[in-house]
Amino acid sequence: MNSGPLLDIRNLSTHYVSAQGSRVVRAVDDVSLRIDAGETLGIVGESGSGKSTLALSILRVLPPAARIVAGRMLFEGEDLVEKSDAEMRQVRGKRIAMILQDPMASLNPLFTIGNQVAEPIQVHEGAKRRSAWQRARELLRAVRIPAPETRVGQYPHEMSGGMRQRIVGAIGISCEPRLLIADEPTTSLDLTIQAQYLKLLRDLQKEHGLALIFITHNLGIVAKMCDRLAVMYAGRIVEAGSVSTIFNAPAHPYTEALLNSIPRMSEGRERLTAIDGQPPDLSALPPGCAFAARCPRAMPRCGVEAPPEFHTGEDHRARCWLAAPDAAQSPLALPAEGRRGFA
Amino acid sequence: MTIRADIATLATPTSRFAAIRRYRAGDYPVLPLLILGIITFLAIFAGQLAPHNPEVGVLADRFRPPFWLAGGSAKYLLGTDQLGRDVLSRLIFGARISMIVGFTAVIFAGAVGTVLGIVSGYLGGWVDQVIMRLTDTWLALPALTFAIFLAAIVGPSMWNIVIILGITYWTRYARVIRGEVLSLKEREFVRLAIVAGCSKRTIMLRHILPNVVNSAIVLGSLMLGVVIIAEATLSFLGVGVPPPQPAWGLMLADGKEGLMVGYWWLTVFPGGCIMLLVLSANLLGDWLRVKLDPQLRQL
């Protein structure tokens, strides 16, 4: 394999365009990300920030109204944006797999478990039914389903929620993908099952050398699961870096606000800190920074000029004027106002 | 004592008691199944069961009443018609025509409608537009007039009737199935199949089709009644099954003059047969609808 990153997304933009073309929703806007083999990347952001659209863009399974309008996605050196639909089908499920938001509903009620776990193996590897079922049994064992010999012949409604969840995990890894995208896989689970499932995902990741993209709005899970973190706001990545860097020293006020809004038992705070205001309408973004209206440390410049990405350290970048190094502060559109803000 | 006995009965129901209760709860549509079973049996073994040739009569024995009336005989249990043909034999052979036409037309219409409904609902876009506008146009045509028009073109024969009824009634399947598919394709298991790399064809065949089969079967059992009536109507109007053959609708048409002069058995028996068959098909359809719906089944 080549030594570069497993997946390298460069300046990806995915827009939803209305039928008349009059409204354009910038769900994913100029996103650059990379993930190395075996690594776990967390993507956090509030609802509607473009996390799921980003995930669907990677697999190119967007709804009809959405278009990838710009950017490249280099997966093991191949640009996924350029691939034909038939070529993408070879990627989906085989090299990049995905676990959906509601794994409980991800199983077809009419087919046995074995049938559904074996399906991707049959589709992608042309395996015979017998050997695919044999693999299915092994996979069920791998996700710690007791008595897989009998379970393969059963139907989804005969399983508990946690088991169905693990079966969906088994389907995800059935063709030994290099990258697994998990889109909020634990939101529909209670806490104990959630913890079990996360542990299982981590174990599977270690055993199979999977890279994992973990989409969530739960920063607690990110702290436990992820090596690196990307924070999305209004379709853009506002901050990205290693989990420890960002948790210890967030560079973007939005990340800071997110971290402050985690409930903690120890601090004796009575009220949770919420972020004031609403996320902006993605079809009518303000000219400046999208977070400016809600930002406690907004400067006049923020309302006029959108900040580019600044590198604030090794593998740590943020889209915020506060993170701008001195050198980047000189070419201002509105120099006077901007400087005043910084002083 | 009585109360205790009642409790004992409720707690440990005998098998017969349980069976009765199950029937009462509407668990098995015994009567419709029985009627359909008898009619199917008659249709299959018509050749062995019918006492007379259904198409050839004895003119000397015209207008014989059923055996229990004065002038009736055990030779013609349900009487004879204006050509001296045995009504019972004609009814038995008529069952064969009704069942063949009913089932094949329903299956034909169901196959066409289900395929178009799945393709239309799943692919969407212009394919959906074309198929649905076609369906709308089809539904705007008065079904029976359309069927008569077709029959006038291709000429009357039993298999032509099957094709005509299939062409006339596929739209109902297409509409219902498309609606089901629209909601099915948003379900997570279909999206999982997409992200697992299944092609559209695989998804339609493996994930969509099995999930709409129930609806198609239920709709089919309800359509059975509609189609049988339509066949009888076409035959009654003279554009259905051609005359020497004993279709029930044709028997009604032939017997309608006799009704005025008291030969009631020529119309009441075939009319009753049509009614029983259609009623049974509809009751069975209602039962299937409840039985095959997973949400209702879990009750």
The pLDDT tens digits for B6-35 are 444 444 444 455 444 444 455 677 888 888
Q: Tell me the whole-structure pTM to 2 decimals.
A: 0.73
Q: What is the rounded average pLDDT of the residues B269-282? A: 87
Judged by phi (left if over 0) then psi (alpha if -120 to 50, else beta), residue B31 lies in alpha
Confidence of residue B267 (pLDDT cuts 50, 70, 90): confident
pLDDT for A339 equals: 40
Quick check: B5 pLDDT over 50?
no
Q: What is the mean pLDDT of each run of 10 residues along chain A (343 residues)?
A: 76 86 84 88 86 89 85 88 86 86 80 86 82 87 84 85 84 87 78 81 84 87 88 89 88 86 67 75 82 82 83 84 65 43 38
Helix axes B209-236, B158-184, angle to 10 degrees: 150
Strand partners, A310: A318
Place of tokens 């050398």: A209
Nearest CB to A105 within list B188, B194, B199:
B188
Of the candidates B63, B18, B40, B107, which has an alpha carbon nearest to the alpha carbon of residue B261?
A: B63
8 A C-beta contact, residue B103 and residue B224: yes
Contacts of A117 in chain B (CB under 8 A): none
- DSSP class of residue A320? -
Helix or strand (DSSP H, E) at B250: helix B248-260
Of the two residues B54 and A50, the one the predictor is more confident about is: A50
Contacts of B193 in chain A (CB under 8 A): 108, 119
Q: How many residue contacts between A and B have a Cβ separation below 8 Å?
A: 66
Cβ neighbours of B143 (radius 10 Å): 16
DSSP three-state, residue A292:
helix
8 A C-beta contact, residue A145 and residue A171: no
Phi, psi at A7, each rounded to 5°: -130, 125
Of the candidates A44, A40, A39, A41, which has an alpha carbon nearest to the alpha carbon of residue A218?
A: A44
Q: Which residue of B has its CA nearest to A65?
A: B125
Confidence of residue B104 (pLDDT cuts 50, 70, 90): very high
Residue A112, CA atoms < 13 Å, CB-side half-sphere = 14
CA dist B277 and B110 (Å) reads 20
Confidence of residue B293 (pLDDT cuts 50, 70, 90): low
Q: What is the rounded average pLDDT of the residues B251-279? A: 84
CA dist A69 and A65 (Å) reads 12
Of the two residues B63 and A111, the one the predictor is more confident about is: A111
CA dist A93 and B265 (Å) reads 68
pLDDT for A325 equals: 65
Judged by phi (left if over 0) then psi (alpha if -120 to 50, else beta), residue B176 lies in alpha
Contacts of B189 in chain A (CB under 8 A): 105-109
8 A C-beta contact, residue A27 and residue A66: yes
Place of tokens 């650059």: A32
Quick check: B115 pLDDT over 90?
yes
Of the two residues B214 and B104, the one the predictor is more confident about is: B104
Q: Which residue of B has its CA nearest to A98?
A: B195
Q: What is the rounded average pLDDT of the residues B98-113? A: 90
8 A C-beta contact, residue A127 and residue A134: no
Q: Tell me how close the Cα of A333 comes to any Cα of chain B, in angstroms.
A: 44
Confidence of residue B158 (pLDDT cuts 50, 70, 90): confident
pLDDT digits (tens, 9 = 90+) for B179-198: 989 988 888 888 888 888 88
pLDDT for A272 equals: 67
Cross-chain Cβ contact B192/A120 below 8 Å: no
Strand partners, B282: none
Nearest CB to B189 within list A94, A105, A124:
A105
pLDDT for A150 equals: 86
CA dist A25 and B231 (Å) reads 55
Strand partners, A17: A24
CA dist B221 and B294 (Å) reads 18
Residue B216, CA atoms < 13 Å, CB-side half-sphere = 25
pLDDT for A328 equals: 52
Judged by phi (left if over 0) then psi (alpha if -120 to 50, else beta), residue B245 lies in beta
